[in-house]
Amino acid sequence: MQSARGTLLKTKLAIDGGKPVRATWLPYGKQSIDDNDIGAVIKVLKSDFLTTGPAVDAFEEAVAEFSEMPYAVSFSSATAALHAVMALIKVEKGKRVVTTPNTFAATSNAVLYNQGTVEFQDVEPHTLNLDADRLRNLNDVTAVIPVDFGGNPCDYEKFLALKKQYGFRLINDASHSLGATYRGKPVGTWADLSIFSFHPVKSMTTGEGGLVVTKNEDEAKWLKAFRAHGISRTDIPGFYRQDFLGFNYRMTDIQAALGTSQLKKLPVFIQRRREIVDQYRRFFSQLADYVEGPVETKGAESAWHLFPLRLKLDKLKVDRDQFLRALHAENIGANVHYIPVHWHPYYTKLGFKRGICPIYEAEYLREVSLPLYPGMVEQDVQDVCDAIEKLVATYSSTQLA
């Protein structure tokens, strides 16, 4: 990819009344749907089952095989899956769960759904994943939930060593990382239970939807009952019983059919994401005095759900928020991932204070997630790079070389 430097240096920013880099909005993430996906959904719509049918079983079997795990249980969302896992491992009042502040609120909300106690601990400065080396006060912790931020796996060997020492359950929020590997193995194989998300901006989609993989058959059976009101069937036709209080968290056959079709293309999707990341990395190496790209965990291959670019604010005359506003004015739909969970008004009302995770809180203030999805064409990628360079040229506190 060629730098547009020279023309952009003389171009007025769109936020200041200039012409935007592109005429149409480029979102930060978007699903990729083709005729095979549509055909799979239509086939289910014409079948006898729209829900609780064979397409759900087929999808679960396909994800289990892809993840190299024996059991997979689908849910209506990854949030529902997280809730179910917290209930399964008996998170309840007085039980402590450690997780990262760098995640969507659903990760910690699932603990609160079960009246557990959430504890946020800090991240690695390079990957922004939960830092196993910094974890403290792990005695009597029920579970630790690392999140594979942006699709980049956490350093699971370190977490497994801590699990052996302290005896907690290791739960992998792999909502970003289906298709990623760590030490040559799929992400879902490292923890006691792993949760995937199929939201449209993720590696593949079922519209909405989530899934849990586990090595334990009894846990899989319990999760299937939990997603269906706590009800189990017997060998008597038409007879069922409710064994405990569950929820209606089932995935439909319509979603599952779309998921099975999407899963076949997941390696291609991830390969395209990696190609875009390589282009970004090459381009932004030219702007290394002003921005820095993401770092993969040693021994890991990211699924690249996100490309979190971090601004070197000491070299710029604006803060991240103003940079983001200017980027949006150029029609580049960059986003921010994530507001520290404990900064949300709901969590501050629970007593969480700023300053408890100083590394992440500082890094959040300079993070911008750039558009990254398989359907991006070369001009889209070039537009993102041009827009970033255009902003850096205007906002840099030093002369751009």
In three state form, how does the secondary structure of 302-337 look?
CCCCCEEEEECHHHECCCHHHHHHHHHHCCECCECC
Q: Residue 268 in 3-state DSSP?
A: helix
Cα–Cα distance measured from residue 73 to residue 215, given in angstroms and rounded to the nearest whole number = 11
pLDDT of 268 reads: 98
pLDDT of 295 reads: 97
What value does the mean pLDDT take over residues 24-53?
97
Q: What is the band of 233 on the pLDDT scale with cuts at 50, 70, 90? A: confident
Fold of domain 35-262: Aspartate Aminotransferase; domain 2 (3.40.640)
* Comparison of pLDDT for 401 and 326, the residue scoring more: 326
Fold of domain 8-30+266-395: Aspartate Aminotransferase, domain 1 (3.90.1150)
CB atoms within 10 A of CB 78: 27
For 120-152, write each residue's pLDDT tens digit. 999 999 999 999 999 999 999 999 999 999 999
Q: Residue 255 in 3-state DSSP?
A: helix
The DSSP code for 293 is -
Residue 4 has pLDDT above 60, yes or no: no
Alpha helices in 105-242 (DSSP H): 106-113, 156-166, 217-226
pTM for the model stands at: 0.95
Query: Looking at this protein, which amino acid is placed at residue 28?
Result: Y
Residue 275 has pLDDT above 80, yes or no: yes
The full set of domain ranges for the chain reads: 8-30+266-395, 35-262
For 209-225, write each residue's pLDDT tens digit. 999 999 999 999 999 99
The DSSP code for 389 is H
- CA torsion through residues 59, 63, 64, 65, sign: positive
